[in-house]
Chain A
C-alpha cells in the first residue's frame, strides 16, 4: 500500500471516528416533533380555555401533552442516554413542572385574572428553557426562539391584554411550530444522508 493510500485510509478513519461520536451523542433536532406537539397543545389549551372558560382546560391539555411526550419517547426505543441529553431533558422537565405548579396555583387561587400575568410568566419560563438549551448546544436558532419568548414577556408586561395574547400566539407559532418543523427537516436531511456504516 502506498503512502498516499495510507494517509487516505487514516483520514477516513478519523472522519469515521467523528461521525460515530456525533452519532452516539444523538441529535436534539430529532425531538422536533415534540416542539410541534407542545405548540399544538398550547393552542388547544388556550382556545379551549378562552371559548369555554373551563378551569381545567390548561391542566388537562398539559397533562395529555406530557403523556403523549412520554409515549413518543418510549416509542423511540433504546436510545442510549448522554450527559447532554439528560441536561436538556432536565431543563425542560424542571421548566414544565415549575410552570404547571405556578400557573395552576395562580389560577386556582384566583390571582390569574389578568391574562397578561399568565403570558408574561409562561413566556419567560419557556424562554429560559430555550435559552439554556441553546447555550448548551450552541444553537443560534433556538436562542432566537428564546428572544422571541422574552419579547412576548415584555409585550405582555407593558402592553394591553390583546397585545399579550397576540404576542403569545405568535411566539407559539414561531418557536414551537416553525422551529419544530425546522428541527424535523434537519433530522430528515440527516437520515437521508444516511448513517456511516463501519
Chain B
C-alpha cells in the first residue's frame, strides 16, 4: 500500500477535510454554521480555518449585518482543486489496499 504522506497534509487533517467538504457544497458559509455542522470548538475551528486560509483554500469575508459581526467563508478554486486531488488520491489508495 502506498504511504499516507502522498495525501495533501493540509487537506488530510480531519476537521480541515470536513470544512472543505462542507464548503464545497455551498456558495458561502458562516462561522456559526460551520461550527454547528462540525461540532468543533470556536478555538479549534478558527485555527483550522486559518490554516486553510493560509494555504489559499478558503477566503474570508468579515462584515456587519444588523450591527452584528458576521464571518463568511468561501472555498477558492485552489481549495476545490486540492479537495478533488485529495479524493482522487484517497480512492487510488483504497483501490490499492483492497
With CB as the reference atom, state the residue of chain A lying closest to B37.
A23
Contact A197-B39, Cβ < 8 Å, known A10-B93, A13-B14, A80-B30: yes
Residue count of chain B within 8 Å CB distance of chain A: 31
A residues neighboring B (CB under 8 Å): 3, 6-7, 10-11, 13-14, 16-26, 78-83, 195, 197-198
Name the A residues within 8 Å of B25 (CB-CB).
Answer: 20-26, 82
- Chain A at the B interface: SS class: helix
Question: Contact flags (1/0) for B1-21 with A, using CB distance below 8 Å?
Answer: 100100000000011011101
A21 & B22 in contact (Cβ 8 Å cutoff): yes
Contact A17-B97, Cβ < 8 Å, known A80-B30, A198-B15, A198-B39: no
Q: How far in angstroms is the closest Cβ of chain B from A39?
A: 29
Q: Which listed residue, A6, A13, A81, A195, touches B26 by the CB 8 Å rule?
A: A81
B87: interface (CB < 8 Å): yes
B residues neighboring A (CB under 8 Å): 1, 4, 14-15, 17-19, 21-30, 32-33, 37-40, 83, 87, 90-91, 93-94, 97-98
User: Given contacts A14-B87, A17-B87, A198-B39, could you give 20 more A-B pairs where the C-beta distance is less than 8 Å?
Assistant: A6-B1, A11-B94, A16-B18, A17-B17, A17-B83, A19-B21, A21-B25, A22-B25, A23-B37, A24-B21, A24-B26, A25-B25, A25-B26, A26-B25, A26-B26, A79-B33, A80-B27, A80-B29, A80-B30, A197-B39
Cα separation A98 to B73 with both chains bound (whole Å): 35
Name the A residues within 8 Å of B97 (CB-CB).
Answer: 3, 6-7, 10
Name the A residues within 8 Å of B18 (CB-CB).
Answer: 16, 20, 198
Name the A residues within 8 Å of B1 (CB-CB).
Answer: 3, 6-7
Contact A17-B39, Cβ < 8 Å, known A25-B26, A83-B27: no
Name the B residues within 8 Å of A195 (CB-CB).
Answer: 37, 39
Name the A residues within 8 Å of B93 (CB-CB).
Answer: 7, 10
